[in-house]
């Protein structure tokens, strides 16, 4: 009887947690789509207004805004679809030669503007002599971008992000380090779970679906690599990735 009781309580708690995660996800999703939809609507209204439509320069600016917001929504949908694909194990890796240093430099360029806006900086220390591995370019690029975006997202003031690489036995190690909010031991245990997000008090303070790291983990497993996280609350986090040179499927 005692066993049944403990088991039932456990199941109830788990269900409750899943329920809460679902609600959070829906709230986040609604929020993430509401903003671009509102922006697009405003921009379209402006273009329609006769005052603006007479000035090609302004029309162009609003059209750019529409395009940008559309891209943002597309990225969000893409993220959710990627996860659905992983769930069904319905993906194949397109293995080619991937230069990690090139991907890191590209991701750094993508992020620099956003980081500089917060008066922070991104630095690279690319020490690996052999930087080419066999992997899926798109997925590896997403992995690096996701980690770097998180490093920025979870550094509220002056982000200091650094990326290190070095060669290890039969592969390459990539470290994405930040000096942001860090994580508790409890959070560290769950960050790779789907939909998991650390509650920061205000749910919409930092945007996200809680899908990024579970995707990163799934991709590291698919590439026969490893991922480890070191983090201390208030001090920052480091994500340590190890990619083998060859991924045998
Ligand atoms: P999202 O960022 O969309 O919430 P992720 O799966 O990328 O989802 O991350 C899960 C959670 O892990 C985040 O909500 C955040 O609480 C925590 N986290 C991830 N990266 C970092 C980081 N660099 N520093 C502190 N916390 C992080």
220, 143 Cβ separation under 8 angstroms:
yes
Higher pLDDT, 18 or 144: 144
The string of pLDDT tens digits covering residues 83-101 is 777 777 777 888 999 999 9
- DSSP secondary structure code for residue 199 in this structure: -
Ligand 1 centre distance from Cα of residue 238 (Å): 12
The residue whose CA is least distant from atom 3 of ligand 1 is 208
Residue 170 pLDDT greater than 80, yes or no:
yes
Ligand 1 centre distance from Cα of residue 21 (Å): 14
Residue 21 pLDDT greater than 60, yes or no:
yes
Ligand 1 centre distance from Cα of residue 217 (Å): 13
Ligand 1 centre distance from Cα of residue 191 (Å): 7
The residue whose CA is least distant from atom 23 of ligand 1 is 151
227, 174 Cβ separation under 8 angstroms:
no
Residue 203 pLDDT greater than 60, yes or no:
no
69, 111 Cβ separation under 8 angstroms:
no
Those residues with Cβ within 8 angstroms of residue 186's Cβ, 6 or more apart along the chain or in another chain: none
Q: What is the mean pLDDT of the chain?
A: 89
Residue 33 pLDDT greater than 50, yes or no:
yes
pTM exceeds cut of 0.85: no
- Please state the atom number of ligand 1 nearest to the C-alpha of residue 181: 25
**Token duo for residue 109:** 């360029």
Q: Which residue has the tokens 């992983």?
A: 86
Distance CA(101)–CA(157), nearest Å, equals 27
Distance CA(142)–CA(223), nearest Å, equals 13
Residues touching ligand 1 (Cβ under 6 Å) are 150-151, 154, 178, 180-183, 191, 196-198, 208-214, 237
Strands annotated E in the chain: 95-99, 121-126, 132-136, 160-168, 171-178, 226-232, 236-244
Q: How far is CA 228 from CA 16, 95, 104, 175, 211, in A?
A: 29, 23, 18, 10, 17
SS3 169: coil
């Amino acid at each position: 009887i005692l066993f049944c009781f403990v088991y039932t309580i456990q199941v109830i708690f788990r269900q409750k947690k899943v329920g809460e995660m679902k609600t959070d996800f829906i709230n986040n999703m609604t929020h993430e789509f509401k903003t671009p939809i509102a922006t697009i609507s405003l921009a379209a209204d402006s273009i329609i207004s006769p005052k603006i439509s007479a000035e090609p320069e302004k029309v162009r600016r609003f059209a750019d805004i529409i395009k940008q917001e559309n891209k943002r929504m597309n990225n969000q949908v893409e993220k959710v679809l990627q996860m659905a694909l992983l769930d069904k194990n319905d993906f194949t890796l397109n293995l080619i030669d991937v230069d990690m240093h090139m991907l890191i430099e590209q991701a750094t360029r993508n992020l620099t503007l956003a980081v500089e806006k917060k008066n922070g900086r991104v630095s690279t220390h690319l020490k690996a002599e052999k930087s080419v591995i066999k992997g899926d370019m798109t997925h590896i690029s997403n992995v690096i971008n996701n980690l770097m975006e998180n490093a920025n997202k979870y550094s509220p003031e002056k982000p200091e992000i650094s990326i290190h690489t070095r060669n290890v036995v039969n592969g390459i190690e990539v470290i994405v380090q930040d000096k942001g909010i860090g994580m508790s031991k409890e959070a560290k245990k769950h960050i790779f779970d789907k939909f998991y997000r650390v509650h920061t008090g205000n749910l919409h303070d930092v945007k996200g679906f809680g899908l990024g790291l579970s995707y990163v983990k799934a991709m590291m497993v698919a590439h026969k690599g490893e991922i480890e996280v070191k983090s201390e609350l208030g001090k920052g986090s480091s994500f340590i990735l190890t990619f083998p040179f060859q991924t045998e499927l």
